[in-house]
């Protein structure tokens, strides 16, 4: 994650973008447990950049990237949100450009040509443009077929402004440990930049073929930067194996590599030992069903059961500190819970949950804590105001840690209870078989 930075307030960006940027970088620091931008040094300097990014999580994808750069990022967005003149003005200040589809009922070719020309000029002036070449979002960890627009824009820029225009396509894979909940990991994984000029002369003579070739190259590089689960029939089981069965490492990069290796092992097993592959999928279904029915986590199978002494001691300490937890909770519960409640109740498309929870959470926390600090200043003076400003984020961290320990203790209690269930040994055997066959 980027270090704290306020220099953007002194840059010549649109004011609306600065406000949005401040919300994004604040949200990134608080919403995610770990945020890693791997390979940022590969991004060329002093050149036009097209980021080619997989699209799994609606608004979170573009803002995750935008919050890590020192330059404004331009985005392509569907045209219907630009219909209102006021909305268009704000969106333009957020460096968003309309892209038209056939369903919009307009002359899409001429309308999009104008947008493409804007993109050409942005890239010629060494600006940065984000494109999601899959064309739409889907939270499944699978790279879908890419649209050719990214290649047309890239090669069109050189056609319009000359082949020596410095321009690169930078493939960037985004991997979410959990798409919809806070306190999870996110990895931005930068691949090797594509020099667009290398394709230009071939493009002059073989237009369509070169566009396909460049698009395929982007797809090939992107697949190396993310988890690409091709077996859609068994997607839920494979996802569970990669994200719910415990990993050896706690490091975000090492966890990603371990999952990539496990996925590679599964693909290899499917091609060489179909019977064993089906057994692993079957074991995953059994384990997933048992774990969900008993509301526990699979990692508990990898640990010896907690001793009764430790279990009761931990329970006693949790009860002892519960009053302090509840008191501190008054400083952060409402701005945390209101966005969760509002989004999950009113927003049907889960792809928008993460971004809305993050944005609303930042806004409500700023407002709620500002109110607390103002009241502290009025009634208790500057000393307590400064002390409160220091303690509020610490209280929030303590509450989060307590809640995580409470959830783990509750899971341990349920796991001990599940030991007596008739299917426990089958679930444990399934877990051990999975670990054995997918060990690295």
Same domain for 31 and 150, yes or no, is yes
149 within domain boundaries: yes
Distance CA 54, CA 66 (A): 15
Same domain for 218 and 246, yes or no, is no
Same domain for 324 and 377, yes or no, is yes
| H or E segment to which residue 38 belongs | strand 34-38
Domain count, the chain: 3
Contact 78, 97 (CB under 8 A): no
Same domain for 323 and 289, yes or no, is no
Same domain for 43 and 188, yes or no, is yes
Distance CA 252, CA 272 (A): 30
Query: What is the structure's pLDDT at 8?
Result: 65
Same domain for 330 and 289, yes or no, is no
Percentage of the chain beyond pLDDT 70 is 95
Q: SS in 3 state form for 43-107? A: CCCCCEEEEEECCCCCCHHHHHHHCCCCCCEEEEEEHHHHCCHHHHHHHHHCCEEEECCHHHCCC
Q: Is 90 exceeded by the pLDDT of residue 240?
A: yes
Same domain for 171 and 66, yes or no, is yes
The residue segments making up the domain with residue 96 are 7-225
Query: What is the structure's pLDDT at 214?
Result: 97
- Average of pLDDT values for 288-295? 94
What backbone torsions phi and psi does residue 38 show, to the nearest 5 degrees?
A: -95, 125
437 within domain boundaries: no
Model confidence at 421, in pLDDT bands (50, 70, 90)? very high
- Average of pLDDT values for 29-42? 88
Percentage of the chain beyond pLDDT 90 is 62
Same domain for 337 and 282, yes or no, is no
Question: Looking at the DSSP assignment, which residues form a beta bridge with residue 195?
Answer: 168
The number of CA neighbours under 13 Å toward the Cβ of 243 is 17
Q: Render pLDDT for 128-143 as a digit per residue (tens, 0 to 9).
A: 999 999 988 888 999 9
Q: Is 80 exceeded by the pLDDT of residue 29?
A: no
Q: Render pLDDT for 173-231 as a digit per residue (tens, 0 to 9).
A: 999 998 888 888 999 999 999 999 999 999 998 999 999 999 999 999 999 999 999 99
300 within domain boundaries: no
Query: What is the structure's pLDDT at 137?
Result: 84
51 within domain boundaries: yes
Query: What is the structure's pLDDT at 10?
Result: 65
Q: Is 90 exceeded by the pLDDT of residue 90?
A: no
Distance CA 283, CA 427 (A): 8
Same domain for 69 and 186, yes or no, is yes
Which pairs count as long-range contacts for 268-276, CB under 8 Å and 24+ apart, including other chains? 269/437, 270/231, 276/437
336 within domain boundaries: yes
Torsion of CA 211, 212, 215, 221, to 10 degrees: -130
Contact 390, 254 (CB under 8 A): no
pTM of the model: 0.87
- Average of pLDDT values for 3-26? 73
Query: What is the structure's pLDDT at 57?
Result: 84
Q: Is 80 exceeded by the pLDDT of residue 168?
A: yes
Q: Which residue has the higher pLDDT, 49 or 311?
A: 49
Of the ranges 11-15, 73-77, 430-434, which one carries the lowest mean pLDDT score? Answer: 11-15
Q: Render pLDDT for 292-315 as a digit per residue (tens, 0 to 9).
A: 999 999 999 988 877 888 889 999
Q: Render pLDDT for 352-386 as a digit per residue (tens, 0 to 9).
A: 888 888 889 989 999 999 999 999 999 999 999 99
Distance of CA 264 to the CA centre of its chain: 22
Q: Is 90 exceeded by the pLDDT of residue 18?
A: no
Single out the residue in 175, 199, 225 at which a domain terminates: 225
Query: What is the structure's pLDDT at 1?
Result: 52
Query: What is the structure's pLDDT at 6?
Result: 61
| CATH code, 164 | 3.40.1130.10
Same domain for 49 and 194, yes or no, is yes
2 within domain boundaries: no
Query: What is the structure's pLDDT at 105?
Result: 63
Mean of all residue pLDDT scores within the chain:
89
Single out the residue in 190, 225, 260 at which a domain terminates: 225
Residue 439 is encoded by which pair of tokens?
């060990």
Q: Render pLDDT for 247-286 as a digit per residue (tens, 0 to 9).
A: 888 899 999 999 999 999 999 999 999 999 999 999 999 9
Model confidence at 106, in pLDDT bands (50, 70, 90)? low
1 within domain boundaries: no
| H or E segment to which residue 195 belongs | strand 194-195
Distance CA 174, CA 194 (A): 18
Distance CA 211, CA 200 (A): 10
Same domain for 110 and 19, yes or no, is yes
Query: What is the structure's pLDDT at 303?
Result: 80
89 within domain boundaries: yes
Single out the residue in 225, 247, 273 at which a domain terminates: 225
- Average of pLDDT values for 123-132? 94
Same domain for 212 and 269, yes or no, is no
């Amino acid at each position: 994650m980027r270090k704290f930075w306020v220099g953007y307030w002194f840059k010549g960006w649109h004011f609306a973008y600065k406000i949005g940027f401040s919300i994004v970088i604040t949200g990134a620091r608080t919403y995610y447990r770990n945020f890693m931008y791997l390979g940022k040094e590969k991004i060329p300097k002093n050149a036009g950049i097209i980021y080619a990014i997989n699209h799994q999580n609606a608004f979170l994808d573009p803002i995750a990237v935008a919050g890590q750069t020192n330059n404004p990022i331009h985005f392509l967005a569907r045209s219907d949100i630009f219909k209102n003149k006021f909305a268009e003005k704000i969106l333009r200040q957020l460096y968003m450009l309309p892209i038209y589809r056939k369903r919009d009922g307009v002359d899409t070719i001429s309308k999009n040509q104008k947008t493409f020309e804007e993109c050409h000029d942005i890239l010629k002036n060494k600006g940065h443009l984000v494109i999601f070449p899959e064309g739409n979002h889907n939270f499944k960890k699978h790279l879908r077929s890419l649209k050719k627009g990214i290649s047309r824009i890239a090669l069109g820029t050189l056609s319009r402004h000359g082949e020596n225009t410095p321009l690169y396509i930078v493939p960037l894979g985004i991997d979410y440990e959990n798409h919809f909940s806070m306190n999870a990991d996110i990895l931005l994984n930068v691949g090797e930049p594509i020099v667009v000029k290398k394709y230009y002369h071939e493009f002059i003579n073989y237009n369509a073929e070169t566009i396909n070739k460049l698009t395929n190259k982007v797809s090939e590089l992107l697949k190396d930067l993310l988890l690409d689960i091709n077996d859609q029939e068994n997607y839920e089981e494979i996802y569970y194996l990669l994200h719910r069965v415990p990993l050896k490492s706690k490091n975000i990069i090492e966890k990603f590599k371990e999952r990539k290796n496990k996925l590679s092992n599964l693909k290899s097993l499917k091609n060489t030992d179909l019977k064993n592959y089906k057994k692993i999928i079957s074991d995953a279904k059994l384990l997933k069903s048992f774990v969900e029915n008993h509301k526990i986590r699979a990692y508990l199978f990898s640990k010896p059961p907690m001793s009764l002494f430790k279990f009761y001691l931990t329970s006693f300490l949790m009860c002892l500190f519960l009053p302090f937890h509840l008191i501190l909770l008054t400083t952060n519960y409402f701005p945390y819970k209101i966005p969760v409640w509002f989004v999950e109740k009113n927003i049907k498309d889960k792809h928008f949950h993460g971004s809305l929870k993050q944005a609303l959470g930042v806004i409500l926390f700023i407002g709620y804590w500002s109110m607390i600090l103002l009241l502290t200043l009025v009634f208790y003076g500057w000393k307590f105001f400064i002390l409160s400003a220091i303690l509020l984020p610490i209280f929030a961290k303590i509450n989060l840690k307590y809640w995580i320990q409470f959830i783990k203790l509750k899971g341990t209690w349920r796991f001990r209870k599940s030991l007596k269930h008739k299917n426990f040994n089958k679930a444990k055997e399934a877990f051990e078989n999975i670990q054995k066959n997918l060990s690295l």
